[in-house]
Structure 1
Amino acid sequence: MIVPGLVLDRSAVLLVGVCAGAAIGFSFVGRGESLKSPVMAPVCAAPAALTEKPPEIAAALSCAAPAQRQLLRTIRKGGPVRVAVFGDSFGDGVAFGLQQQLTHKAGYDVLKFSQPATGFTRYKRLNLETKAAEQLGDGPIDVAVISFGANDAQGIITDKGEYAALMGPKWQEQIGVRIDRFVGVLRAHHAMVYWVGLPRMREAELDGDVGAINQFYARRMAALGVPFIDTLPIASDAQGNYAVYLDDPATGKRTLVREADGIHMSMTGYKWITHGLSERIRGYVEATRKIDAAETAPVAAVAQ
């Protein structure tokens, strides 16, 4: 059911794939400077049979972008797939949900780089781009997951020293530049990037602000070719409203999915909202393994 006001998962219409060896280039610079437009290489159309798959999976099956090349290196070394999670306290929960589903035993290493009370409006407290660069160092990551937002429901002082009201033109310009640069930092490490949106909030005013921010982030991710994972249908009731309890789709049991603060999910709730993303990451990894098998098979045949 489509509920009015929901931000739909725009990943279905995003990047289909980039031709093998071509770069998705981001020129990102220091704080206060604008990010240049991403330079997109020619797009490889996915085979017709793959058009129903999420774009990153179809891309891995049809042609290899830099993100797949990084993952191929990890697979060929026999190492765990490294999934880095960035965000605020909600990001902490997203990391927990992914850790429960992408386990060490299954060949994954979910790294929690999130930090409470942070956001793109709080750069005087913590510059997220600088922090992410420090956390990643020179090490590779295969997948990056971002989830910010509840702390960003406020006006800001821009890098030019001007006040910018929440969701006003100056706010969108400044926060947009920061987001673009942040994604650029992650793509410099050749990561496949995802953004996890926020669910409904209990308090009406915050819910309205977060809904607007969600839509802003979703549009920005669409422009950057980053899949936006919409959590609203998962964490809302049948009418699309805030819900503390929901029926478990597997058992039908009434289940607590939200914390008492009306903002965060319960631990079970975080597992619910990251279940689909976990499946997509697994699909992306398995599709990339098929690239590895296809590329190594001719070499093995020659060796025989």
Structure 2
Amino acid sequence: MRLLLDRTAVLFLGVAAGAAIGYAFGTGNESHQAVELAPDAAPAPPPPSTVAPPPPTGPEQAPPATDEPKPEKPTPALPEAPVALTDDQPQPGLEDSVRQGRSVRIGVFGDSFGDGVWSGLYKLLPAGQGYRVEKYSQQSTGFTRYKRLNLEQHDDGRIGDQPMDIAVISFGANDAQGVCGDDGKCGALMSSRWQSIIGARVESYVGMLRRHGASIYWVGLPVMRDRGFDADATAMNAFYRSLMGRLGVPFVDVRPLTVDAQGQYEAYYPDDTGAPKLLRANDGVHMSMNGYLRITRPLAARIREASDSARRQQGGQRSAAQQGDSPPVAVAPAAPPLTLSPDRPQL
């Protein structure tokens, strides 16, 4: 009887120990205690974001989020200003190419939207007609993302020592967000801080391209399907139009080519025959191939005119030089009029 009681006690203790271990695994062996935050320590709700959501699909995947800057009260966009078209005149790079008989070298700089601008110009300005359209655009880049990629340093190195005749810039779709400067101070989209930082970076970038001898064109943003994103794009277009006006760079406004008769977003447009053609990509941000051809056709015409102007000017200089170096040409006196007899057949 005593032996039986001892074994029963051991069995009971083993079952109790097993239950305790099982309970510890089930609850994490933690003691949960409610923690009450003081009113001033409670987490504040995040500020409303002014960043438009990136496109979920399309030619480019959604770019990774950047460091969230401290919000600053936005200020209105700069008013639109008349655009000086000084860069429509031949610059040293274009004149050198024409004089040396090289193809006109056109570099397209931008983000994924710039990729589409490049594809349009590549088709409209073929190599067989004396043009060389090169792609420098890169997805998920912008002037707000200098911590990841300093565009000026990066593109300056890629151009190298090769002559650059014309530079087409198309940024902005990735810049609808706040930005932080080198001093760590940040500003929300279109705030005075944002305009100061972005304006300085863009001005320096334009200066870099001009040091390579390039004529420059800035391509604006189209209408966006998302209304919030479209408001951001409209504000950035006004800012860049004003900035390009001060820098003497033509601002190419593509928005009128991407809206319907009521000025609203449209996914299709009628061609010359009235048949509908796809204008936009599924994400409501990028264009279709037809769309990129539509918005770059006026720019291609301007580039052709600038190139032809440089060729005409060079041809006139060459003709004048030849006339100055050649001896005078003796001109024979005019022959007397030929008198035909009545019976001679007329020729």
* TM-score, with length taken from structure 2: 0.69
Q: Is the radius of gyration larger for structure 1 or structure 2?
A: 2
**Which of 214, 229, 245 is matched with 2:252 structurally?**
229
Query: Aligned residue for 1:121?
Result: 144
Amino acid in the other structure paired with 2:235: A
- What is the 5 A alignment of 1:214-293? 214-248=237-271, 250-293=272-315
1:298: which partner in 2? Answer: 320
Structure 1 counterpart of 2:215, from 186, 192, 195? 192
Cα pair 1:84 1:112 within 8 Å, conserved: yes
Which amino acid in structure 2 is aligned with residue 159 of structure 1? D
Q: Aligned letter for 1:278?
A: A
Q: Aligned residue pairs: how many?
A: 249
Shift of 1:8: 8.0
Matches within 5 A, 1:1-304: 10-11=82-83, 14-15=84-85, 56=88, 59-60=89-90, 67=91, 69-248=92-271, 250-304=272-326
For 2:81 and 2:317, locate their aligned partners in 1 and report how far apart those are by CA, in whole Å.
32
Query: What percentage of residue pairs aligned between the two structures are identical?
Result: 47
TM-score by length of 1: 0.79
SS in 1 for 2:324: helix
Verify the 8 A CA contact 2:81 2:245 in the aligned structure 1: no
CA distance in 2, matches of 1:151, 1:78: 38
Distance 2:217 2:279 in 1: 22
Distance of 2:149 and 2:228 partners within structure 1: 26
Q: Secondary structure at the match of 1:238?
A: coil
| Amino acid across the alignment from 1:144 | A
Residue 156 of structure 1: how far off its partner (Å): 1.4
Structure 2 SS opposite 1:105: helix
User: Which contiguous aligned blocks of 4+ residues in structure 1 show a shift greater than 3 angstroms?
Assistant: 7-11
| Matched residue SS, 1:251 | coil
Deviation of 1:9 (Å):
9.6
RMSD of equivalent CA atoms: 1.7
Any gaps of 5 or more consecutive residues in structure 1?
A: 1-6, 17-54, 61-66
Q: CA deviation at 1:232?
A: 0.7
Per-residue CA deviation, residues 216-255 of structure 1 (Å, 9 max, x unaligned), is 111110000000000111111111111101111x222101
Q: CA deviation at 1:302?
A: 2.5
